[in-house]
Structure 1
Amino acid sequence: AANVYDNDLDDPPNYMSDSYGNFTSAINTGSGNCGDPATLISTVQGVGDGGSMNGTDDVVIEGIVVGDYQDWGTPDYMRGFFVMEEPADQDANPLTSEGIFIYEGSGTTDVSEGDIVRVQGDVTEYNNLTEMYDDSITVCSSGNPMVPVAVTIPVPNPQDAVDFWEPYEGMLVTITNTLTVAENYNLARYGSVTLSSAGRQSQYTQVNSPSTSGYPAYLDQVARDRIVLDDYRGDQNPDPLIHPNPELTAANTLRSGTTITGMTGVVYQNTGWDNYYRIQPRRTLPVTGWVDSNPRTTAPANVGGTLTVASFNVLNYFTTIDSGPDICGPGGNLDCRGADSTTEFQRQYDKLVPAIVAMDADVVGLMEIENNATASLDDLVTRLNGVAGPGTYAYINTGTIGTDAIKVGIIYQPASVTPVGSPAILDSSVDPLFVDTLNRPALAQTFMENSSGETFTVVVNHLKSKNDSGTPTGGDLDQGDGASYYNETRTNAATALGNWLATDPTGSGDPDFLIIGDLNAYAMETPITTLTGMGFSNLVPTSGYSYVYDGMTGNMDHALASSSMAAQVTGVTEWHINTDEPRALDYNLEYKSTGQQTTFYNADAYRASDHDPIVIGLSLGSAPPDGDDDDDDDSDGGDGSSDDASISIFDPAISKIGELPAGGLGLPGEQLVWHVFVSNTGSGTGTNVVISDTLRSELRVDSADTPRGTVSINGQTVTFTIPNIAPGETLELLITTTVISSPADGQFTNVATLNGTGADGVTVTESATGVLQGTSRLPATGYPQDDDSTSLWWLWAALGALMLVVLGAGSWLLRRKNA
């Protein structure tokens, strides 16, 4: 006993006077019996992030198991379970969560979903998740109903994601609205899928001009619309992949654009690398109900015409196997970027060949083909002819182009077209603005259509990527406006390209130029607007896409036409066989189990590359190359003596339709899509047609789209610039808005104005103005007021009627979707 003493600081040590053989301690009194008083989970969680009882030991809670992820024998599982407060014990505070994660580690008490359990443990925060490390678990009863809480997203502005989701942390929820797969890039890597409540989300600069203020605000809204569906595992490259149920395979894909309604799971805060909250699916109830809203197609849509041209980034088609040493490129000192083995190479061409054959394009511009003299193109053409038949395809022999490991190339069908003259190359030696150490040199080749004798020139491009490789400086640095790195280099290349084509580099004597390729710029970025400003028409609408990055769609691949060429275009389509597919379905073998190397792969077109091909239809000779509207050869010397008998007049008409979703009443948060129809009812082509539309401040302008030309958004004003509108042609322009608030005067007033010039030099102006009764008279109950006749607006809206004010040739209508 002499060696037993206290250790306080108030006095000298007090030694024990007697010796004892043993003694007991009652530090932990146990968790008590089922039904005894316990700490409410809402008290443990508290208000806000962090947990109000973080660091508190021996806390006792009681609740229902709503997510069981124990599986102690599988170390990559979560090794725990989620408990949710029983409905009768939930508090009335919407700011506190009723769920918590119980971490067991190597525990031995098995629980099941629906069990009521009593848990004693220590409260802590782990990667922002409030959890308890259990000391004891008692199963009180089983088979109890689990009642999910209904949640609707997006996160409302200005509330942030933490404030919105924290009150649901650890709880079983059902997201009531329809969600769309925005991205599946990490499906195979981490088992996760990014979902959006706003449908497909465009890249900011696909629909908006670059902006240092607009871009971060747009990304904030994108994040508000998202939630990540996880797979309750912590390992990489899991096997099996449980999404879509029962597991991902080459035949059971989960494409971007797939939708699901009423998804149920547990809210999990482990924000990780992507900064999004997650939904963990219940193991006893896999996520089902996926709707294939963006199905695969076996061939591109029909683009019409007598001739087709395609653009296809073939994702590093290298005949030199990447076995390790840097032996590729013209200098034999660059990385070989393609297949790592002959097996991978076979898997690669067994996907690429069916894709090209199915497109059946007469001319195909290729990007990312190995930059050797002829081996890569010769190999691809040989394999194509092995499927399509001998002599079906040939290639333009350019030798190596530039100094990079990859180059652009052209293959064609000799039965349809014949090369005219030699190819031409745009590089730094032609124009120093075109930096060929960053951009791949452009390739131009003139072709003659065999059936008509008409000629046209295809120009294939691959501009500098958006990543920060190398040493970007000045205008090539990321400006934070959405255009990313090297925008100045790409813009200068576009300027050089337009100037080069003005010199007719192949000596064709024909103004019909078709610019195709991977320009590494979205539709509203300056490389594209520079070309449209030089008179080239962007043939792909801003609603189109060939690439998905960070869950947002956009056109990295483009088709632009000179004015004479644009008049001969019959259609354009993107064949979505690649970028919507999970990357795990590509030809690569790495990061896949032995079984997945088989189940993830099929020798078909899907995920042959990471970019989607573009196909353009042409009807050569359908527009007079001399630019007038007659069929003569201008033997009159160009003085117009034979043409003036009939004066060509540009006579535009403009109308508007506002479209609400099914059952929509124009309430805040509802989407309102404006359809602006612009027609040319005259006999002459209209040029430089500008449509300006200023939206009310009660509407948020989300995006705008035009099938031709450019569009810019400046605050509430949307401006469309159309290079030309042919006689009899009608263009549909789209403006997507969201109702922010009810208008003070109870109506949305909207004006669209058109200005254009005809061949006679006369500028024509038309406008369309409309008034729609709005929502300001709607009472809080959501029912109309009986004592005010103006409140009957909702009835008229439900019937699709509206008040019209028509100016000039314009009209304004309202319609509703029937779905």
Structure 2
Amino acid sequence: MAAPSADVVISEVYGGGGNSGATLTSDFVELASTGAVILDGYSVQYLPGTPSASSKWQVTPLSGGITAGGRYLVGEAKGSGGTVELPTPDATGAIGLAASSGTVALVHGTDPLTCLTAADCAADTRIRDLVGYGTATVRETSPAPQASNTTSVARAGSADTDDNSRDFTAGTPTPVNAKGETPGGGTPPVEAKIHDIQGTTRISPLAGRKVTGVTGIVTALRTFGSARGFWLTDPVPDNDPRTSEGLFVFTGSTAPGVVVGDSVTLTGTVREYYPDNPASSVYQSTTELTDPQWTVSSSGNPLPQATIVTPSTVPGEFAPHPGGNIESLTLDPAKYALDFWEAHEGEIVSVSDARVVGPTTAYNELYVTTKPDENPSVRGGAVYTGYDRTETGVVKVESLIPFAQRPFPKADTGDVLTGITSGPVEYSQYGGYTIEAAVLGDLKDNGLAREVTRRQRPDELAVATYNVENLSPKDSQDKFDRLAHGIVENLAAPDVVTLEEIQDNNGASGTGDGVVAADQTLNRFTDAIVTAGGPRYEWREIDPRDLADGGQPGGNIRTAFLFNPRRVSFVDKPGGDAVTAVSVETAHGRPHLSISPGRVDPGDEAWQDSRKPLAGEFVFHGRTVFVIANHFNSKGGDQPTHGRYQPPARSSEVQRQKQAHLVRGFVDQLLAVDPGANVVVAGDLNDYQFSPALAELTAGHHLTDLIATLPPAERYSYVYEGNSQVLDHILVSPALRRVDYDVVHVNAEFAEQASDHDPQIVRLVPHGRG
């Protein structure tokens, strides 16, 4: 143990055999070697993770030998659980290894060790290798990760650095004996090239199999994070455009012990990695090699040529639409964009002078388009125009360059990554196919400016809507100030503002603590507006019941009204609370609200775990205006556009359509009394202008969705995964024919945001007698 082992090492340790939840029935220790070694007279020994003065090492003698590049399996204690036997062990003992923490030593000798500390064991020259895992006191430098009933610790690569934390990762147990047999009578490793592993569908034909003889040139490294490893490409491809020649080799939390340009030969297990439960996942998988062992035959080799992606490279159709899971379909990379990227999974691709269509996020990622002429927005983005018109040119970019070496660029929409951006292709649950950039272009700032709308004229009522993204007293004063400046400067101090995502006075607590009031949140916000030079707004809202309206747990988000009392009056009518429904009353042939503010049908099942609409009655220049503030249920639970189910299911639409039906029904009641009533429906409806929910709201032509009146290149208020799209809306009744509408782009396209939504504003002259 005084120096790293040069030949035989411990390659895997598992102590959960036969325990609850385990698949394997027995514990085991696996050895590996770079050369042939006779093991007669050797032993495997075990010590508890936290030994006492009376603790003793337990011994399993070994016999026979291990071949160069081979495995040697030591079977240990068998439990009452599990269903799968080990392959026939090459040596058998009865040691019951602890599942989560312990120490295993490979010893040249069969007498029990006596050392009980890391230092004493390091001085014992009989120890050829030692692994302490979990919280083990005796270990090399630092312990390997904690294991469990369902996970082992396995050596990542062939290197022995005498640091267990670097050399080992936790993962699925993969015992292999000297014959190459795997659990359950599995077959020996199969010789395979990368294109054999990748296959012609999304799922490897060798998934779950041990493979050997995998060759390639190392093209990129991921040296930080929890999913470290390296990519390699076979420089001798086949002639099938459906089979990728690239592959990710997963080394876990251990930095890969190779460098770019190394020619390597690997053995490992093929895995389809899903970010969640593979049986129920809606995402695609990443084909990768786990539990790898490799040898480096040469270094400094030229890298295989990258695939250069131009505006015409990626097909114009997004995905096949079989009405279900696309994983078993043969790839057609010349026809479908998703198939194109999958056929290049793990390979190096390159883009030049790529325009940013989704700004840098808090997770150090941005989105570019490879098709600059595909549905461009007026400000450099890519507009999402329909369910059947998903952007095919958008791809995410992350960086493999350590941030200490080069910080990730802070890009706004419309900026450009000049020069070459290149790296391997990887699928991510967040954003789909991603270029993991080993070469990152330089950022050209194209100077995108935050918009400023005009001020309303004296005879115009200005109504705005703004999702302020979970605003609560827990937020920094900077967020309050930036939102306030947006109200005063960019929106030119509207007369009425519907706010979405106002949280209670202690914000998201994660529990039901009974706090539902939001007066501190709203007072702090209105104070910030005054400090920014704006009017002293008044506010109205209705506190929800605790944990009844969804959003961040404990935050009790709700909609609220701000209004400038010097310009517009609010008609206060008592009786509004979390459960009382507002109704339409008639006085002198004109509609009025029974309570103001009041909630629209709060008891209907359509609003379960969702915000209830807030209706308010305003008077401007003697004319009544009804404003309904909304925040429909989110898209949580919908399948991703880039997932394995095509077309994706949009299950959340059902609830939004019901919500839209109730809001439209309430508007219909107002208009039934007076077809010339002034009605504004505003808020974050969490849906597109072409969605069933908006079709429901506008049915009967009683409401006009103003976003649909803009040119297509201007129809967006939100940017998600590189797509400029519509979530926020202002709709008006037929009486409001002469309106001036504006989406004011101040947030969604920028890396620095006060909120993730852009506000909207409509300036209108109310109908009726003054």
Alpha-carbon deviations, 1:65-91, whole Å to 9, x = none?
Answer: 32133x4xx563523x223334xx444
- Which amino acid in structure 1 is aligned with residue 422 of structure 2? G
| Residue deviations 1:73-115 (CA, integer Å, cap 9, x gap) | x563523x223334xx4444333333333455688985433x2
| Aligned partner (choices 85, 88, 101) of residue 234 of structure 2 | 85
Q: Distance in 1 between matches of 2:357 and 2:636?
A: 28
- The amino acid of 1:65's aligned partner reads V
CA contact (8 A) 2:269 2:291 kept: yes
Please tell me whether residue 522 in structure 1 is matched to residue 669 in structure 2: no
Which of 434, 454, 467 is residue 302 of structure 1 equivalent to? 454
- Note the alpha carbon deviations across 1:157-188, whole angstroms, 9 max, x for none: 6436675344423221124695653586xx43
Closer, same or farther: CA 444–375 of 1 in aligned 2, 3 Å: farther
Query: Which residue in 1 is equivalent to 2:531?
Result: 386
Q: Deviation per CA, 1:693-717, whole angstroms, max 9, x where unpaired? A: xxxxxxxxxxxxxxxxxxxxxxxxx
Provide Cα deviations, 1:131-180, integer angstroms capped at 9, x if missing partner. Answer: 37654433634273653122422475643667534442322112469565
- For the structure 1 residues 168 and 308, does the alpha-carbon distance in structure 2 shift closer, same or farther, using more than 3 Å as the test? same
User: 2:384·2:723 contact (CA, 8 Å) conserved in 1?
Assistant: no
Q: Which residue of 1 aligns with 2:157?
A: none
Q: Distance in 2 between matches of 1:257 and 1:425?
A: 49
Question: Any idea what SS the aligned residue of 1:169 has?
Answer: coil
For residue 538 of structure 2, the aligned residue among 395, 407, 418 is: 395
Match of 1:101 in 2: 248
Distance in 2, matches of 1:77 and 1:382, equals: 46
Counterpart residue type for residue 759 of structure 2: P
Q: Is the 8 A contact 2:670 2:677 kept in 1?
A: no
Change in 2 beyond 3 A, CA 1:423/1:121: same
What residue is the counterpart of 1:608 in the other structure?
754
Question: Quick one: structure 1 residues 566 and 77, their matched pair in 2 at CA, closer, same or farther if it must change by over 3 Å?
Answer: same
Matching residue of 1:465: 633
* 1:493 maps to which of 663, 676, 697: 663
Task: Tell me what 1:539 maps to.
Answer: 706
Which whole-Å CA distance do the structure 1 matches of 2:521 and 2:572 have between them?
A: 20
| 1:364 counterpart = 2:496 | yes
Distance 2:251 2:686 in 1: 49
Using the TM superposition, give the Cα deviation of residue 442 of structure 1 relative to its aligned residue in structure 2, in angstroms. Answer: 0.8
Contact 1:445–1:457 (8 Å) recurs in 2 = yes
CA distance in 1, matches of 2:385, 2:527: 41
User: SS at 1:96's partner residue?
Assistant: coil
- Tell me, in whole angstroms, the C-alpha distance in 2 between the residues paired with 1:492 and 1:99: 52
State the distance in 1 between where 2:572 and 2:254 align.
Answer: 74
Gaps of 5+ in 1: 1-19, 31-37, 209-214, 234-238, 319-337, 449-453, 470-477, 583-605, 627-632, 634-819
CA distance in 2, matches of 1:140, 1:479: 49
For residue 345 of structure 2, what is the aligned residue in structure 1?
169
* 1:32-81 C-alpha deviation (Å, 9 max, x unpaired): xxxxxx986546655445556774554163x4432133x4xx563523x2
User: Within the alignment, does 1:578 sit opposite 2:747 as a pair?
Assistant: yes
- TM-score by length of structure 2 reads 0.53
The alpha-carbon distance between structure 1 residues 395 and 533, as it changes in their structure 2 partners (threshold 3 A), is same
Give the Cα–Cα distance (whole angstroms) in 1 for the partners of residues 421 and 200 of structure 2. Answer: 24
CA distance in 1 between partners of 2:698 and 2:201 (Å): 51
Write the deviation string for residues 477-511 of structure 1: whole angstroms up to 9, x where unpaired. Answer: x995883424123212222123225546xxxx985
Query: 362, 381, 403: which one pairs with 1:188?
Result: 362
Report the AA paired with residue 706 of structure 2: L
Change (3 A) 1:573 1:460: same
Q: CA deviation at 1:257?
A: 5.9
1:354 aligns with 2:485: yes
Residues 466, 485 of structure 1: 8 Å contact kept: no
In the alignment, the residues of structure 1 paired with residue 68 and residue 228 of structure 2 have an alpha-carbon distance, to the nearest angstrom, of 30
Q: CA–CA distance in 2 between the matches of 1:106 and 1:409?
A: 47
Equivalent position amino acid for 2:682 in 1: I
For the residue of structure 1 that corresponds to 2:659, the secondary structure is: helix
**Alpha-carbon distance in structure 1 between the residues aligned to 2:393 and 2:614:** 40
2-structure distance, mates of 1:479, 1:124:
30
Contact 1:310 1:613 in 2 (8 A): no
Q: 1:182 to 1:57 in 2, by over 3 A?
A: same
User: Contact 1:182–1:200 (CA<8 Å) still a contact in 2?
Assistant: no
**Shift in CA distance, 155/28, structure 1 to aligned 2, threshold 3 Å:** farther
Task: Tell me the distance in 2 between the aligned counterparts of 1:192 and 1:366.
Answer: 31
Distance 1:137 1:373, change over 3 A: closer
Q: Summarize the Cα distance change of 1:425–1:153 in structure 2 as closer, same or farther, 3 Å threshold.
A: farther
Evaluate the alpha carbon distance shift between residue 535 and residue 388 of structure 1 in structure 2; reply closer, same or farther with a 3 A threshold: same
SS at match of 1:356: helix
Structure 2 match to 1:561:
732
Give aligned pairs, total: 494
1:696 is matched with which residue? none
CA contact (8 A) 1:172 1:265 kept: yes
Q: For the structure 1 residues 178 and 411, does the alpha-carbon distance in structure 2 shift closer, same or farther, using more than 3 Å as the test?
A: same
Distance in 1, matches of 2:676 and 2:66, equals 98
Residue number among 429, 432, 448 corresponding to 1:273 in the alignment: 429
Q: Following TM superposition, by how much is the alpha carbon of 1:388 offset from its aligned partner in structure 2, in angstroms?
A: 0.9
Q: Which amino acid aligns with 1:546?
A: S
Please list the CA deviations of residues 602-630 of structure 1 after superposition, one character each: whole Å capped at 9, or x if unmatched: xxxx5323332112234x49xx969xxxx
| Counterpart in the other structure of 1:411 | 562
SS in 2 for 1:222: coil
Determine whether 1:140 maps to 2:298.
yes
How high is the TM-score relative to the length of structure 1?
A: 0.50
Partner of 1:446: 619
Say which SS state the counterpart of residue 489 (structure 1) adopts: helix
Q: Is the 8 A contact 1:537 1:561 kept in 2?
A: yes
The CA deviation at 1:395 is: 1.6
Does the C-alpha gap of structure 1 residues 105 and 139 become closer, same or farther in structure 2, counting only changes over 3 Å? Answer: farther
Distance 1:548 1:131, change over 3 A: same
Alignment partner of 1:66 is 2:227: no
The aligned runs of 1:707-726 (5 Å cut-off) are: none
**1:45 and 1:523, CA in 2 relative to 1: closer, same or farther beyond 3 A?**
closer
Tell me the amino acid that sits aligned with residue 218 of structure 2.
Answer: V
Report the AA paired with residue 355 of structure 1: G
Closer, same or farther: CA 308–540 of 1 in aligned 2, 3 Å: farther
Equivalent residue for 1:327? none
Aligned to 2:736, the other structure's residue is in SS state: helix
C-alpha deviation, 1:360, in angstroms: 2.0
Three-state SS of the structure 1 residue aligned to 2:661 is helix
CA contact (8 A) 1:463 1:490 kept: no
* Kept in 2: contact 1:117–1:141 (CA 8 A): yes
Preserved CA contact (<8 Å) 1:59 1:122? no
Matches within 5 A, 1:670-749: none
Contact 1:456 1:510 in 2 (8 A): no
SS in structure 1 at match of 2:477: helix
C-alpha displacement of 1:443: 1.0
Equivalence map 1:332-351=2 (5 Å)? 338-339=472-473, 341=474, 344-351=475-482
